[in-house]
Amino acid sequence: MKILVTGAAGFIGMHVCKSLLKSGFNVVGIDNINDYYDVNLKVSRLEQLTKFNNFKFYKLDLEENNGLDDIFKLHEFKKIIHLAAQAGVRYSLENPRAYISANIDGFMNILEAAKEHNIEHLVYASSSSVYGSNSLMPFSEDQNVDHPLSMYAATKKANELMAHTYSHLYNIPTTGLRFFTVYGPWGRPDMALFMFCKSIIENKPIDIYNHGQMQRGFTYISDIVEGIIKVMHKPATPDTNFVGDNSSASTSSAPYRILNIGNSESCPLMDYINSLENILGIEAKKNFMEIQPGDVKSTSADTSKLDSWVDFKPTVNIQTGIMEFVKWYREYYK
């Protein structure tokens, strides 16, 4: 089977590709290698993949659509794992148009390609950010998600709506995965653990927003990858019990599904920082600040639907995950 993974040079994309390649799948990766963060890190991730004979890479901007149809014709994919996106809640306040271009236009082109080339299953990245101002935790896929707090969250909600439209009109099985604060080796430099680790090692203060009164369903990368691949193998199907207004928001009469992937045990931010301090053996200098626009105070995932659908739930604990990240960070940055 030949699988397309978009965002292959990204944090999650690289890990997904590597797992698929080790399992013997033929993988085609697409990424535009933009400079949102350190390009060298993206190149290093790609080097982890180009060691495999069953990997092919294309540098491509999905929103421009140049050459995308040719790639689909050449490789005859059966399944797509769409992870390419403009990430980052805070950057969406500075450059909202980048999110429309990458996350809306880019996804539109993937949906069109899936329609034209009879794709058996499209799995795509959504985000826990869609829960916005919801306060009832853990977050369930059945909750209303019509109050996003950032343009990033709004584009992810839009992706879910776009996917449903194509599932309904063209019978394309689509599954949206709402990721909850993913962390681990090869992570993005703009994410909390990476920034905290770098600053602590360099004896610089760390910025802690909302005076530390935050908590997250921190989810280790291996749990995310396993969940993605299990879901990939089980295409969405129509919900035979779907009756419109009185049904689950996570299914449909179309082959469409929305699933949370995250740690159901929400971890206070200060506990997360304390674990990092203990593993590094260094106490952080802390700069407590007000909450930033677009930030959500708490997240926690109800993963019962994921467990029911593919018999999986995340299990890696915070201490193990942070230890693995620190080990990678020290090795990669010498």
Annotated catalytic residues are 152
Q: How many CB atoms lie within 10 A of CB 292?
A: 13
- What's the CA gap between 299 and 128, in Å, rounded? 7
Q: Determine which helix (DSSP H) or strand (DSSP E) holds 286, and give its type and residue range.
A: strand 286-288
The DSSP string of 73-111 is HHH--SEEEE------TTHHHH-HHHHIIIIIIHHHHHH
Residues 99, 14, 19, CA angle at the centre, nearest 5°? 135
CB of 98 closer than 8 Å to CB of 110: no
Query: Closest Cα partner for 21 from 61, 58, 55?
Result: 55
Phi and psi (nearest 5°) for 167? Answer: -65, -40
CB of 302 closer than 8 Å to CB of 139: yes
Cis peptide before 138 (omega within 30 of 0): yes
